[in-house]
Structures are given as structure tokens and as C-alpha cells.
């Protein structure tokens, strides 16, 4: 069950990411078959597709674990994802991740888990604890994907963007490249899941994790 770890960066990575990655590598020396660190500019679709090509063409590993270089995570993160991953039942498994935006001068936090209803996509605001949750889409900040998913999509979607691509949605806006990947995978019969017990931090001026989000959400909703 070889795993390739891949991450994109603008040329530098967060110190806490380096420490997290080193701890995972030390904890799982027999499972990790290699690494693909790739500098990336603003065109994330091109960079993520390049990572997948390198994974398929230059390794025979079974799993690709994609990370963003501003994430922090405990040493058992990869082990816990692999414990629930399965080539047929759970070929795409993400960790519980969060993002940040500023709206009218106010900092807001959000999950990277989505549901889809009648073509519309919605961010999940709450979730069951420590559960393998099926979602419509999630991000690639911490995403474990089986090789068979990439091989299948390669046959269904043309180059140069067979896996990751921004696409126009039903409302005339854009789906981000990671959401498009999840939609394509689900359409091809591969479920997308998030392990809500695998909690990932996002390095901003403060580390955004589940506690950061829940404190903000409760305050925003008057709880």
C-alpha cells in the first residue's frame, strides 16, 4: 500500500507544515513510497494536474496524498486516512479542513465540505463527529486518492485538464478545480468522503482548526 505525498507551494512552506510532514514520515516509513514537492503559481489546475501525471507516469504507488503547504496535522494523520480508505468503497478520503475569508471587514471561517442539491452547491456548516462522511465535494488541502480514480478520469476527460479544472456551474459562476475533481470522480462512480475525526489546521495569522471554526460559528449563530 505505497503512498506518494505531494504538495504545492509558492516557493516557501510554513514551518509548522514542515514539522507536521516530518512527523508523519517518521511515523509511517514503510507506507510512504516517495514525495512530489512542486512549486506552483496561481494556476492551481495546471499544477495539480502535473502532480497527477508525475504520480501516474513515474511511480507505481497505490495512493496519492495531496497536501497544501500551509496545513498542520498530527503524526497519525496518514495512518488514520489509510485505515478508512478502500479502493472501491472509499477511494477518495479527505481530512476535516477549514478556510478563512473577510467579508465587509469581518473575518469569517468556513469548512471545505460541500453538499449538492438540485445542482446548487452548499458548504456544510455542521458535521457528525469522528465519522466517515460522504460529501459532494471537498478540497485538496488534505486529500488521499486511489490510483484507480485518476486512471479512470484520464479516460473520460481530455487533456490538458483531465482531473482538475475550473468549470462553469449552473448559475454561470465557476467551480474551483478541486470541486470539479470531486464532481468528475462522483460522476464516474467514485464516492468522495471526509473523515471528520482527522482534524487539520490551516496556518493563517492564527491556525484555523475545528475549535476556531466552532467558536466563530456558535457566536455567529447566537449560541
CATH number of the domain at 112, please: 3.90.550.40
Number of domains within the chain: 1
pLDDT one-digit tens code per residue, 167-223 = 877 666 678 899 999 999 999 999 999 999 999 999 998 899 999 999 999 998 987
User: Does position 94 have pLDDT exceeding 90, yes or no?
Assistant: yes
pLDDT of 170:
67
pLDDT of 124:
96
Cα 87 to Cα 89: distance, rounded to the nearest angstrom: 6
pLDDT of 11:
82
pLDDT of 156:
97
Q: What is the mean pLDDT of residues 109-126?
A: 90
Q: What is the mean pLDDT of residues 87-110?
A: 94
User: Does position 103 have pLDDT exceeding 90, yes or no?
Assistant: no
Range of the domain at 25: 3-220
Length of the chain: 223
Helix (H) or strand (E) holding 133: strand 132-135
Q: Around 174, how many Cα atoms within 13 Å sit in the side-chain half-sphere?
A: 7
Tell me the whole-structure pTM to 2 decimals: 0.95
User: Who wins on pLDDT, 9 or 137?
Assistant: 137
> Are the CB atoms for 4 and 36 separated by under 8 Å?
yes
> Are the CB atoms for 191 and 92 separated by under 8 Å?
yes
Residue percentage of the chain with pLDDT more than 70: 97
pLDDT of 88:
96
Cα 4 to Cα 23: distance, rounded to the nearest angstrom: 16
Amino acid at each position: 500500500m505505497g503512498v506518494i505525498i505531494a504538495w504545492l507551494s509558492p516557493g516557501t512552506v510554513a514551518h509548522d507544515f514542515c514539522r507536521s510532514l516530518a512527523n508523519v514520515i517518521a511515523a509511517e516509513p514503510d507506507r510512504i513510497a516517495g514525495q512530489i514537492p512542486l512549486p506552483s503559481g496561481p494556476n492551481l489546475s495546471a499544477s495539480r494536474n502535473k502532480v497527477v501525471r508525475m504520480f501516474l507516469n513515474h511511480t507505481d504507488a497505490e495512493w496519492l496524498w495531496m497536501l497544501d503547504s500551509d496545513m498542520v496535522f498530527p503524526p497519525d494523520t496518514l495512518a488514520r486516512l489509510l485505515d478508512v480508505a478502500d479502493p472501491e468503497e472509499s477511494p477518495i478520503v479527505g481530512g476535516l479542513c477549514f478556510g478563512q475569508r473577510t467579508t465587509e471587514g469581518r473575518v469569517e471561517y468556513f469548512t471545505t465540505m460541500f453538499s449538492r442539491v438540485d445542482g446548487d452547491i452548499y458548504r456544510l456548516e455542521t458535521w457528525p463527529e469522528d465519522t466517515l462522511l460522504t460529501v459532494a465535494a471537498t478540497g485538496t488541502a488534505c486529500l488521499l486518492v486511489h490510483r484507480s480514480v485518476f486512471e479512470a478520469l484520464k479516460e473520460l476527460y481530455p487533456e490538458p485538464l483531465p482531473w482538475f479544472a475550473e468549470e462553469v456551474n449552473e448559475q454561470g459562476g465557476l467551480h474551483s478545480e478541486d470541486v470539479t475533481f470531486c464532481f468528475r470522480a462522483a460522476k464516474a462512480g467514485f464516492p468522495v468522503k471526509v473523515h471528520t475525526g482527522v482534524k487539520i489546521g490551516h496556518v493563517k495569522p492564527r491556525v484555523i482548526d475545528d475549535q476556531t471554526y466552532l467558536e466563530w460559528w456558535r457566536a455567529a449563530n447566537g449560541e
